Amino acid sequence: MIGRNILYIGTVFLTGVAVLILEIAAIRLLSLQFGTSLTVISSVITIVLLALSLGYYIGGRLSDTYPDPKVLYGAIFCSGITTLILTSAAYFVFQSSNIELTLFSPLLSAFLIFFLPAFILGLDSPFVIKLMTNGTPSEKHGSIVGTVFFWSTLGSIVGSLSIGFFLLPAVGLLNTFLYTGMGLTALGIFGASYFYIEQRTIPTRTVLLITFFGAALSAGIFFGARSTLLFLDSELSILTRYDGLYSHIIVRETEIAGRTVRLLHREANASSAIFPGSSDIVFDYLRLLPEQMKIVDNPKSMLFLGGGAYTGPKVASRLFPEMEIEVVEIEPSLFSLAQEYFELPVDNKIKNHVADGRIFAEDTDRQFDIIYLDTHNSGHFLPPTLTTKEFFTTIKNRLSPNGILLINFIGTPTPKESASVTGSFVTTLESVFPNVTMYAMEPNTLHSRQNIVFQTSNTLARDDTFLNPAAEIFMSFGTTTPQEMLIEPQTLTNEEDTIFYDNQSQMELLVGLGRW
């Protein structure tokens, strides 16, 4: 009995570890498509809790009908197999396709991928309680229940700490799922084999044969998924991939108009790019930066909120070599990544801060001649704390008297009949700054989601002086005049657009509803 109880307690501990690992890894997996938004976090927690609650209920009834430990460990084996199959399949689907974001797409995705493994793991605790209370005096049942939930919760704590501090950074997202699935199948095989041999219900040779086939099945899925990843990385010319603290990071190369382009992908966002060996700028919105910087007479300092591959800071440093440039990037590894893969010079011209942009802006007492905000994802997610009136009020105070704020934003520059992300963002900016200027990077397709460059300052007069000298730049975008890219902010707002506040922001709701 002592050996059995140790096995049972170890089982609830390990399945508790697995549940939290899956739950947190699920948020990272869904963020590949939908960004790290409240809807993603809420969807994952909802589905996991729903699955566990139904698992607890069904597990209690099942254990009353079939109080056999082999049923328990068979279920754990199935949870491992479903984890291996569903999570690896979802990982490759999310890597190779774009899923349209709706309010409920994260919820549906979480259900399809994680409900079944979490439901099966939910069978565990009531089953173990039933098995441990069989043959024990009723006055000890309370302590048994308490012991089971203690070890299960302790396992969840260990799982939560291990994935955040070790697994994701050390082995990556796919391997985290694969190792968790393999661990569950191994636990299921071991537990079932132990009780088959102990009870001698079938010959030992048959147990070993079943164990072999179970191990072979799980190993086949494991190595098949890893081989598929290596194949895809080769086919997609991926130079490196890993999981940072805040995002899934991929560096790859492709061909655009006959030229090799090196891209940085962060989750669903192709955030930065270079032409290797060339100073030419890849993305149109960044090609405006040199002209916009010239609006400020002899700028002495510039702050970038959002580094990416540090292509913007590199452009600014090349244009104004003596200017002080500071970059705030929350992902710790991107500065060294930019030096290794994106030709960022290894020198002291750019001062890098690993910090949250909002916190840095609030803590510093410096003022900058130019502030460049480039933290918005490619149409799936905007950091809520970097879109509110309170944040832009802080930024306003960090601008020098003649300084300018530049923003790279993803939105739809067309009028809407109801509240929209773009309209509300414009409304928020106009509640802080006396003038707001906008440039659409694809003026011939204004109904599509695209880069919009905002330009504003603390002065009452709107500064369009860079339009004429930048005519050649604009003409290269395929427009006949610079003014074709100029969008009047008041044409995008209506009575339903709201100001984003720290206390209440409709931004994530509007994103989920697709109201860009």
| Structure token digits, residue 166 | 């070790």
| Better pLDDT: 215 or 204 | 215
- The reply to whether 215 and 291 lie within a common domain is no
- The reply to whether 167 and 312 lie within a common domain is no
CA distances (Å), origin 370, targets 24, 55, 383, 390, 403: 38, 56, 21, 19, 5
* CATH code for the domain in which residue 418 is found: 3.40.50.150
Alpha carbon distance 251, 274 (integer Å):
11
Total number of domains constituting the chain = 2
Pick from 27-36, 116-125, 207-216, 308-317: least confident:
207-216
| Res 103: pLDDT | 66
In-domain check, residue 456: yes
- The reply to whether 196 and 308 lie within a common domain is no
Residue where a domain terminates, one of 180, 199, 225: 225
In-domain check, residue 252: no
CB atoms within 10 A of CB 21: 26
pLDDT surpassing 50 at residue 171: yes
Residue where a domain terminates, one of 190, 208, 225: 225
| Res 463: pLDDT | 57
- The reply to whether 195 and 306 lie within a common domain is no
Angle at 321 between CA 319 and CA 322, to 5 degrees: 130
3-state DSSP assignment of residue 345: coil
Give DSSP secondary structure letters for 280-291: ---SHHHHTHHH
pLDDT surpassing 80 at residue 420: yes
Pick from 81-95, 141-155, 413-427, 456-470: least confident:
456-470
CB atoms within 10 A of CB 465: 11
Q: Say how far residue 79 (Cα) sits from the centre of its chain.
A: 25
In-domain check, residue 241: no
| Res 469: pLDDT | 46
CB 59 within 8 A of CB 127: yes
- Long-range CB pairs of 53-56 (<8 Å, 24+ gap) are 53/122, 54/119, 54/122, 55/118, 55/119, 55/120, 55/121, 55/122, 55/123, 55/124, 56/122, 56/123, 56/125, 56/126
| Structure token digits, residue 494 | 């209506």
- The reply to whether 25 and 147 lie within a common domain is yes
In-domain check, residue 465: yes
Alpha carbon distance 493, 421 (integer Å):
10
In-domain check, residue 470: yes
* CATH code for the domain in which residue 212 is found: 1.20.1250
- The reply to whether 311 and 209 lie within a common domain is no
Alpha carbon distance 142, 349 (integer Å):
65
Supply the range of the domain harboring residue 39.
2-225
In-domain check, residue 481: yes
Which pLDDT band holds residue 476 (cuts at 50, 70, 90)?
low
In-domain check, residue 154: yes
- The reply to whether 221 and 288 lie within a common domain is no
- The reply to whether 419 and 501 lie within a common domain is yes
Residue where a domain terminates, one of 194, 225, 256: 225
pLDDT surpassing 70 at residue 96: no
In-domain check, residue 270: no
Q: Give tens-digit pLDDT for 376-390.
A: 765 456 788 888 999
